[in-house]
Structure 1
Amino acid sequence: MESAPERWLRNIRLSGFTLTMLGLVILAVVVLAPSLKLLVEQQQEMAALEVEVGEQRDSVDNLEDEVARWSDPAYIEAEARDRLLYVYPGEYSYLVIDGATTATTADGAPISDSIQTTQVDWINSIMGSVLTAGLSTDVADDIVPPVIEDPQ
């Protein structure tokens, strides 16, 4: 006794025309598949490039806005006053840097508000540094700074 799938397969009759059409369909799939893959890749690339073009247009718009701002003399004046601390002649500029704290030296002593003379001979210190750097054949890490004597 035959099963149902066997009977169904036995009833299928393939003519020459059917086999030719089936062959043409398979050939079309084989020939067109690489082209369709290339088409999909190109569509994805075009979408990515369109996004990039949109970002670049936004960047250009921002830069054009900035150029327009810098064309305004009032904006230039405001930026010079803010960034460079420029003032007009006759004006006074006060710069307050965290006025609540008191400044101290490295050892914790308060900084004096009177002018003091230096205790170090800085000219000899600079000349010693120049001579040491120019005449030494040692590596920079091996050079020891000269000892500065206190003039008093």
Structure 2
Amino acid sequence: MAGDRDRFSTATRLKTLGEQAAARVYRARGRRNRLTGRAAMLALVVCSLVIALAYPMRQYISQRAEIADQRRQAQQARDDEKRLREEKARLQDPAYIERLARERLHYVRPGETGFSVAGDAQDDDRISDHSAAANRPWYRNLWDGVDTADASARH
């Protein structure tokens, strides 16, 4: 009888252990589902944050680029202002003005004799072009100048 009781209690113990193992597996399966649900919720929250922050980040980057461009333009304007102030100061100098008048306009001082040297055929062409341009409307001359500048820029 003692053997039957041991066998019965072993069978009972095995049955109990099997039920406990099954219960653990069931609980683990339930936890895994619960963990998967939590992970899905976490993934949803993270995706929502990424989507919510994407537009402001794009705006931030765009505005930083615009600020850099504005700073570059401001520096260029300061450089231009400096150059123009220097030019203005030079134009206040009577000696500089006289030199420009002599070089560009072929002015001479009273008592000096000015000479003009006849140039080559290209100079004659420019003179005839100038007299022809004087008889045309101003806007034709303007567009011809633009076309000439464009043609010289291409070559």
Structure exhibiting the larger radius of gyration computed from Cα positions = 2
- Which is richer in helix? 2
Which structure is richer in relative contact order (CA contacts within 8 A, separation 6 or more)? 1
Report the TM-score when normalising by structure 2: 0.49
Report the TM-score when normalising by structure 1: 0.50
